[in-house]
């Protein structure tokens, strides 16, 4: 066997044997070796992993000084250069769960060291950190300590050995809501026919992609006095100034562009083009108005049908661009528009 | 109705004086291949040809199509009907397959280019094309011709080259002959069996340049869903005209070797009855989506299908076609399994589809096309590596000293929605 792998354990003041609620203001401190539940963890790790130190912090201190506390804990952990960090388990203790989640997330992100914690699914720490942290599902109370310790040490060992984890159901951790590619033993076609036969026979089958539930945005009431409002143009059809100055990607866009059209009456094939890789660009490049209708909107402005046109338009490419990314774009753009008193937006897609 | 597929394994390709097969070696007269690929098409100004073998440090980019050389040796019609053969109905008699090799067409068509194939390294794990002996045609066309003409010139050159190489197998004794029998399902007396009646709904992308598909040479944008014999598909009745976002576009090779058809044929009469294949399209307008999904579902009802496998092509806009069709099938009591890839973001944390229906309760995922891959430099590049930064899935700065950091979607067929590969995405 090679050299021993090193683990650091994070605990709150109670499990760290400093004291109860009266000691919840204790600042981060470190003790050598395993403490409290750490003794059980060490026993389960056996000889391959050694808990070299335990970092302890009061739940109130952590909750009230989130950033400072996380920094201090991170600094201590970094000094030990561990192979894995375990935190908790926090069961259904909310403040403790948040602290375990924050410590683990910081360690994973900033130090690139694998982390494992354990919580009851309703602990608020789960909702906040499940995306970034491996969280083992535990019971609500310390009655679940041994089960939690067993799962946590098993996963910690795997991660310390740099092995990849199996699916959440097999390994006992809470789904992170992440889709990750992996290879099956059969082709997609074989899996499809097998799944259909089970479905037809009324047998159990597991869909490989449970349908997500989309946000539904309730439409606002119609704009009453269009002739008074400022109208803005947004497109996901990729119309950008010729040469694509912001290099908006042809697919899976990571950005959007904001372009001045304050003085512009018309678009032309010389001035604009599409960056979109998901449709036949011939016609949009021939006449960019087919995707971004500046011509018609300018006419409406001239006729007084709308108050005025906002002097910028926003463009991105909606080709394979993730919903999460699109939501980020929308938040930023909406902030601009609300600030500048825009009353209506025309969004053209392709 | 019977089609025999005679499989001739090809294990090596060499340039030679005459195009012929000796044992498992395909010898190719290079000059003749180039002439036959070009065939007097005045739009083509030059064709170069190269061979890319599995395991070689070779990157092919940008790839438009992959085609398997086949030849019709008995029965009506010729390979790729309506494009490089007549329009007689294919799918019966005997066809020989040069198995283990392909013709790859490369060369730029539009700004946001096509796909890529690495013959070794991590990229090779994601596509079966890395395991083929690829005869790569790099086609140059006249300056100033339209992109539609450009696409057609490349498409036909690839088909002609594959048909030409296929001819070498005409008089070769195949190592293995597979027999595919299609029963006449509409005959008065159905076979006495209580096996579930399963149909296949075969969605073909039809959204315009580089998003088109051809059925007997006809652009399927104008198609009303129709029935096709599985064996017609094996004879090249369906040809790809698309490749943008190459991961989930069906190449002609995928069509020729459609794994869903093979799976259903293999299980026909054993644990299911394969009652028919309906080809439908995926156009861009809502009206077309509604028309095609209505019509396709009606055909499945006429077939008396209990269940259906529904394959998608492309992503985003076609999600709507697939969900609409799936939803209507389930409403009519036809139990359905849908194959789709996912666009869940580089971190895998986003919703994967542009449209959904709660009725799509049995889905096969063929992978997250947004996931990042790192492809180390290759010793040789066939084509032009600089297009990677513009490719769907690439981005500015993704190419550093020959190493590519891009999304999986740049790899030809990596998330093929006929279920050609074993990749899938799972929730973690």
B348 vs A contacts (CB less than 8 Å): 178-180
In degrees and rounded to multiples of 5, residue B402 shows phi and psi of 85, -15
A185 vs B contacts (CB less than 8 Å): 422
Distance from CA of B62 to the nearest CA of A (A): 14
Q: Do B337 and A192 touch (CB under 8 A)?
A: yes
Classify residue A70: in a domain, yes or no.
Answer: yes
Disruptive mutation site among B112, B125, B304 for chain A (greatest number of A CBs within 10 Å): B112
Q: What is the dihedral of CA A171, A173, A174, A177, to 10 degrees?
A: -70
Distance from CA of A164 to the nearest CA of B (A): 11
DSSP-derived pairing of the beta strands B133-141 and A115-119: unpaired
pLDDT digits (tens, 9 = 90+) for A233-256: 999 999 999 999 999 988 888 899
Give the Å distances, CA to CA, from A350 to A244, A256, A340, B283. Answer: 18, 16, 27, 12
Q: Do B362 and A207 touch (CB under 8 A)?
A: yes
pLDDT digits (tens, 9 = 90+) for B228-244: 999 999 999 999 998 77
Q: Are residues A26 and A116 in the same domain?
A: yes
CB contact residues (below 8 A), chain B span 172-211, against chain A: 196, 198, 207-211
pLDDT (0 to 100) of residue B188? 45
**What whole-number distance in Å separates Cα of residue B158 and Cα of residue B65?**
8
Q: Do A192 and B260 touch (CB under 8 A)?
A: yes
Q: Are residues A135 and A238 in the same domain?
A: no
Q: Do A175 and B392 touch (CB under 8 A)?
A: no
Disruptive mutation site among A129, A189, A242 for chain B (greatest number of B CBs within 10 Å): A189
**What whole-number distance in Å separates Cα of residue A120 and Cα of residue A141?**
8
ipTM of predicted assembly, 2 dp = 0.96
Q: Do B339 and A189 touch (CB under 8 A)?
A: yes
**Which of the residue ranges A108-112, B100-104, B163-167 would you say has the lowest mean pLDDT?**
A108-112
Classify residue A221: in a domain, yes or no.
Answer: no
B425 vs A contacts (CB less than 8 Å): 179-182, 208-209
Q: Do A319 and B426 touch (CB under 8 A)?
A: no
Disruptive mutation site among A193, A275, A290 for chain B (greatest number of B CBs within 10 Å): A193
Classify residue A195: in a domain, yes or no.
Answer: no
pLDDT digits (tens, 9 = 90+) for B334-369: 999 999 999 999 889 888 998 999 999 999 999 999
Disruptive mutation site among B149, B314, B395, B398 for chain A (greatest number of A CBs within 10 Å): B395
CB contact residues (below 8 A), chain A span 258-317, against chain B: 276-282
Beta-bridge mates of residue A180 = B426
Q: Do B421 and A187 touch (CB under 8 A)?
A: yes
CB contact residues (below 8 A), chain B span 399-428, against chain A: 407-409, 416-428
Residue B406 tokens, joined: 């891009």
Count of CB atoms within 10 A of residue B189's CB? 5
Q: Do A249 and B408 touch (CB under 8 A)?
A: no
For B288, how many CA atoms within 13 A lie in the half-sphere containing its CB? 16
Q: Which uninterrupted H or E stretch holds A302?
A: helix A294-303
Instruction: Print the domain residue range for A147.
Output: 5-171
Residue B395 contacts A, CB cutoff 8 Å: yes
**What whole-number distance in Å separates Cα of residue B408 and Cα of residue B421?**
13
Distance from CA of B89 to the nearest CA of A (A): 26
In sequence order, which residues have a C-beta less than 8 Å from that of residue A223 and are 6 or more positions away?
A229, A343, A344
In degrees and rounded to multiples of 5, residue B241 shows phi and psi of -120, 20
The total of structural domains in chain A comes to: 2
Residue among A189, A205, A210 minimizing CB distance to B419? A189
pLDDT (0 to 100) of residue A131? 85
Q: Which uninterrupted H or E stretch holds B60?
A: strand B58-67
Confidence of residue B187 (pLDDT cuts 50, 70, 90): low
Q: Are residues A153 and A242 in the same domain?
A: no
Q: Are residues A13 and A158 in the same domain?
A: yes
Residue among B147, B309, B428 minimizing CB distance to A180? B428
DSSP state, residue B272: B
Distance from CA of A124 to the nearest CA of B (A): 19
Q: Are residues A139 and A262 in the same domain?
A: no
B316 vs A contacts (CB less than 8 Å): 278, 318-320
Q: Do A277 and B244 touch (CB under 8 A)?
A: yes
Task: Give yes or no: B247 in active site.
Answer: no
Residue B388 contacts A, CB cutoff 8 Å: no
Among B101, B243, B326, B398, which one carries the catalytic annotation? B243
Q: Which residues of A145-165 are buried (b: 16+ CB within 10 A; e: fewer)?
A: bebbbebbbbbbbbbbeeeeb
Q: Are residues A18 and A137 in the same domain?
A: yes
SS3 annotation, A24-64? CCCCCEEEECCCCHHHHHHHHHCCCEEEEEEEEECHHHHHH
Q: Are residues A231 and A337 in the same domain?
A: yes
| Domain of residue A25, CATH code | 3.40.50.2300
pLDDT (0 to 100) of residue A343? 94
Classify residue A45: in a domain, yes or no.
Answer: yes
Count residue pairs from A and B with Cβ separation < 8 A: 242
Q: Are residues A53 and A159 in the same domain?
A: yes
List of chain A residues with pLDDT < 50: 1
The residue written with tokens 């049995």 in the block is B362
Q: Which residue of B has its CA nearest to A317?
A: B392
Q: Which residue of B has its CA nearest to A191?
A: B364
Mean pLDDT of the region B24-37: 97
Beta-bridge mates of residue B81 = B85
Residue B180 tokens, joined: 């595919």
DSSP state, residue B411: B
Strand residue runs (E) in A191-285: 230-235, 239-241, 257-260, 272-274
Is A350 within 8 Å of B207 (Cβ atoms)? no
Classify residue A215: in a domain, yes or no.
Answer: no
Residue B372 contacts A, CB cutoff 8 Å: no
Who has greater pLDDT, B398 or A266? A266
pLDDT (0 to 100) of residue A251? 83
Classify residue A176: in a domain, yes or no.
Answer: no
| Domain spans of chain B, in order of start | 2-182+194-410
Residue B385 contacts A, CB cutoff 8 Å: no
Q: Are residues A155 and A13 in the same domain?
A: yes
pLDDT digits (tens, 9 = 90+) for B260-288: 999 999 999 999 999 999 999 999 999 99
A135 vs B contacts (CB less than 8 Å): none
Q: Which residue of B has its CA nearest to A326?
A: B350
Beta-bridge mates of residue B399 = B404
Distance from CA of A184 to the nearest CA of B (A): 5
Q: Are residues A234 and A157 in the same domain?
A: no
Q: Which residue of B has its CA nearest to A189?
A: B419
DSSP-derived pairing of the beta strands B197-205 and B273-282: parallel
Task: Count how many residues are written for chain B.
Answer: 428
Q: Do A196 and B308 touch (CB under 8 A)?
A: yes
Q: Do B345 and A324 touch (CB under 8 A)?
A: yes
Q: Are residues A231 and A115 in the same domain?
A: no
């Amino acid at each position: 066997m090679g050299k021993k792998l090193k683990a650091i354990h994070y605990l709150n003041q109670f499990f760290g044997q400093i004291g109860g609620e009266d000691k919840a203001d204790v600042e981060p401190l470190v003790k050598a070796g395993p403490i409290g539940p750490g003794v059980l963890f060490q026993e389960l790790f056996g000889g391959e992993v050694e808990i070299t130190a335990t970092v302890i912090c009061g739940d109130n201190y952590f909750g009230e000084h989130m950033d400072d506390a996380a920094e201090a804990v991170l600094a201590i952990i970094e000094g030990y250069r561990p192979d894995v960090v375990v935190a908790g388990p926090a069961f259904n203790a909310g403040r403790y769960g948040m602290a375990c989640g924050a410590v683990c997330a910081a360690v994973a992100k900033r130090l690139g060291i694998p982390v494992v914690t354990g919580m009851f699914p309703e602990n608020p720490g789960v909702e906040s950190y499940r995306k970034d942290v491996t969280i083992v599902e535990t019971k609500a109370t310390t009655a679940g300590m041994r089960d939690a310790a067993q799962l946590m040490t098993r996963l910690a060992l795997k991660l310390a050995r740099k092995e990849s984890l199996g699916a959440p159901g097999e390994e006992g951790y809470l789904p992170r809501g992440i889709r990750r590619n992996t290879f099956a033993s059969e082709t997609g076609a074989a899996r499809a026919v097998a799944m259909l036969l089970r479905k037809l026979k009324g047998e159990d089958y597991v869909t490989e992609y449970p349908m997500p539930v989309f946000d539904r945005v309730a439409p606002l009431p119609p704009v009453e006095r269009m002739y008074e409002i400022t109208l803005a143009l947004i497109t996901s059809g990729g119309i950008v100034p010729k040469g694509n100055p912001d290099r908006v990607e042809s697919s899976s866009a990571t950005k959007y562009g904001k372009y001045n059209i304050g003085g512009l009456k018309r678009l032309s094939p010389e001035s604009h083009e599409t960056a979109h890789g998901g449709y036949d660009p011939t016609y949009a490049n021939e006449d960019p108005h087919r995707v971004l209708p500046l011509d018609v909107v300018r006419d409406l402005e001239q006729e007084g049908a709308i108050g005025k046109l906002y002097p910028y338009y926003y463009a991105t490419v909606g080709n394979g661009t993730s919903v999460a990314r699109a939501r980020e774009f929308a938040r930023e753009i909406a902030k601009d528009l609300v600030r500048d008193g825009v009353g209506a937006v025309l969004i053209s897609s392709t | 109705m019977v089609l025999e597929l005679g499989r001739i394994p090809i294990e090596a390709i060499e340039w030679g004086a005459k195009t012929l097969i000796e044992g498992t070696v395909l010898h190719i007269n290079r000059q003749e291949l180039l002439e036959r690929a070009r065939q007097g098409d005045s739009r083509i100004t030059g064709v170069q040809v190269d061979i890319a073998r599995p395991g070689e440090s070779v990157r092919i980019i940008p790839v438009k199509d992959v085609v398997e050389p086949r030849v019709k040796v008995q029965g009506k019609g010729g390979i790729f009907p309506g494009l490089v053969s007549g329009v007689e109905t294919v799918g019966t008699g005997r066809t020989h397959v040069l198995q283990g090799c392909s013709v790859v067409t490369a060369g730029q068509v539009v700004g946001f280019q096509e796909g890529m194939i690495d013959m070794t390294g991590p990229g090779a794990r994601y596509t079966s094309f890395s395991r083929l002996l690829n005869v790569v045609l790099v086609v140059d066309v006249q300056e100033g011709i339209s992109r539609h003409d450009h696409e057609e010139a490349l498409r036909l050159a690839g088909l002609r080259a594959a048909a030409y190489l296929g001819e070498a197998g005409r008089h070769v004794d195949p190592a293995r002959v597979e027999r595919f029998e299609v029963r006449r399902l509409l005959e008065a007396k159905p076979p006495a069996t209580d096996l579930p009646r399963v149909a296949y709904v075969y969605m073909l992308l039809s959204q315009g340049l580089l998003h088109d598909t051809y059925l007997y040479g006809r652009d399927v944008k104008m198609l009303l869903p129709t029935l096709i014999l599985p064996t017609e598909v094996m004879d090249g009745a369906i040809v790809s005209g698309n490749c943008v976002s190459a991961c989930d576009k069906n190449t002609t090779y995928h069509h020729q070797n459609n794994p869903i058809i093979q799976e259903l044929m293999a299980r026909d009469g054993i644990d299911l009855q394969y009652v028919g294949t309906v080809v439908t399209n995926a156009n861009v307008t809502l009206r077309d989506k509604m028309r095609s999904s209505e019509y396709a579902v009606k055909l499945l009802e006429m077939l008396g299908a209990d269940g259906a496998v529904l394959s998608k092509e492309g992503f985003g806009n076609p999600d709507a076609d697939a969900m609409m069709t799936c939803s209507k099938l389930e409403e009519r009591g036809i139990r359905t399994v849908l194959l789709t890839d996912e666009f869940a973001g580089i971190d895998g944390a986003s919703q994967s589809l542009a449209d959904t229906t709660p009725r799509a309760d049995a889905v096969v995922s063929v992978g997250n096309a947004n996931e990042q891959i790192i492809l180390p430099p290759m010793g040789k590049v066939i084509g032009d590596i600089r297009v990677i930064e513009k490719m769907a899935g690439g981005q500015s700065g993704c190419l550093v000293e020959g190493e590519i950091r891009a999304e999986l979607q740049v790899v030809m067929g990596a998330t093929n929605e006929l279920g050609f590969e074993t990749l899938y995405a799972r929730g973690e």
